[in-house]
C-alpha cells in the first residue's frame, strides 16, 4: 500500500526531523497535519514546503502532553479528510544532566520528560486508533532514540523515557494488530538546529566531525537520513513489520562513545 492520498499526522513537525519526515511524506503523496506547540512561523514554513511538493497540508497547534490537544489534532485530520492513515510521534523533550550526578534531576524533571516522550505518544495513538481501526488499517511510527537502547543520551530521565517508549511500542504493536502497525525508529546523533542551538556552531561542527570519524559508516546523521527510515515503516516497505525498534545511527551503537543522543 503506497502513501498516495493517505493522511499523515506528524507531531512536532515545525522544524528538524519532524519537518523532514512531513516533507518526505508529502513527496510520496500523503496529505499532512503539521503539529507544533510554539513554533508557529516555522510550522507555517513546513506547511508551505509540503504544498510545494504537491501535497495538501494544514496546521494543528497543540501540546501532545495534553490529552484534549491530542484529540483536537486527530479531529483536525478527520474534519478535513475523514481518515488518518499514518501517525508519526516525533514531538519530544529532554533535560541535560550528567548521568553520574544524581542530584541533577528530581521527580518533576522525570515527570515532565515522560509527559511528552511517553504519555504524549500514547495519547496521540489513543486519539487516532478508532479511525484507523474503523478504516481497517493504520501505521504508527514512534521516534525513539538509541538512548533508550544503550542508556546514553542527554540525561538518565531522557534515556529512561525512550526505553519506556520502546516498550510501549511492543505492547501496542501486539494489542492494536492486525489493523494497526506500530514501530519505532531509534536515531543517534541528528545534525539539526536543535543541536546547533544547544551547543553552538563550533561544538556542533566538532560533534559532526567526531561522528564522521568514529561511526562505522563514517557519517553524521542528518534529518533526511532518519526521515527515510520513518517513511519506510509508514510506506508499503513496512507492511510485514510491527513491534520493531530500528536503530539508525551509522553504526554508532556498535562501539559508541558517550555522546548526547537525540
Q: So which residues are the catalytic ones? A: 158
Q: Which DSSP letter does residue 29 get?
A: T
Which candidate, 200, 131, 140, 108, places its Cα nearest to that of 10?
140
Q: Give 177-239 as a 3 state SS string.
A: CCCEEEEEEEECCCCCHHHHHHHCHHHHHHHHHHHHHHCCCCCCCCHHHHHHHHHHHHCHHHC
Contact 91, 64 (CB under 8 A): yes
- Only one residue has cell 486508533, namely 129
Which candidate, 138, 261, 131, places its Cα nearest to that of 207?
261
Q: How far apart are alpha carbons 157 and 112 in whole angstroms?
A: 10
Find all residues with CB under 8 Å of 167, minimum gap 6, and list them.
Answer: none
What are the grid coordinates assigned to 181, written together?
A: 502497525
Residue 243 three-state SS: coil
Q: How far apart are alpha carbons 57 and 130 in whole angstroms?
A: 22
Q: How far apart are alpha carbons 178 and 156 in whole angstroms?
A: 34
Amino acid at each position: 500500500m503506497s502513501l498516495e492520498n493517505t493522511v499523515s499526522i506528524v507531531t512536532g513537525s515545525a522544524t528538524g526531523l519532524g519537518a523532514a519526515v512531513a516533507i518526505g511524506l508529502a513527496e510520496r503523496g500523503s496529505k499532512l497535519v503539521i503539529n507544533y506547540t510554539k513554533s508557529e512561523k516555522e510550522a507555517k514554513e513546513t506547511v508551505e514546503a509540503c504544498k510545494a511538493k504537491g501535497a495538501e497540508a494544514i496546521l494543528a497547534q497543540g501540546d501532545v502532553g495534553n490529552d484534549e490537544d491530542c484529540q483536537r489534532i486527530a479531529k483536525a485530520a478527520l474534519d478535513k479528510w475523514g481518515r488518518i492513515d499514518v501517525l508519526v510521534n516525533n514531538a519530544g523533550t529532554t533535560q541535560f544532566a550528567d548521568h553520574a550526578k544524581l542530584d541533577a534531576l528530581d521527580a518533576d524533571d522525570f515527570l515532565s520528560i515522560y509527559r511528552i516522550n511517553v504519555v504524549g505518544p500514547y495519547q496521540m495513538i489513543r486519539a487516532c486508533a478508532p479511525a484507523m481501526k474503523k478504516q481497517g488499517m493504520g501505521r504508527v511510527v514512534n521516534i525513539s532514540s538509541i538512548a533508550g537502547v544503550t542508556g546514553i543520551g542527554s540525561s538518565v530521565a531522557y534515556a529512561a523515557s525512550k526505553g519506556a517508549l520502546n516498550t510501549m511500542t511492543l505492547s501496542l504493536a501486539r494489542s492494536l494488530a492486525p489493523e494497526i502497525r506500530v514501530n519505532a525508529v531509534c536515531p543517534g546523533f541528528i545534525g539539526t538546529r536543535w543541536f546547533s542551538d544547544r551547543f553552538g556552531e563550533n561544538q556542533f561542527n566538532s560533534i559532526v566531525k567526531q561522528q564522521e570519524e568514529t561511526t562505522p559508516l563514517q557519517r553524521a546523521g542528518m534529518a533526511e537520513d532518519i526521515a527515510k527510515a520513518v517513511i519506510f515503516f509508514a510506506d508499503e516497505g513496512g507492511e510485514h513489520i510491527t513491534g520493531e525498534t530500528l536503530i539508525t545511527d551509522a553504526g554508532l551503537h556498535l562501539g559508541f562513545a558517550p555522546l548526547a543522543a537525540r
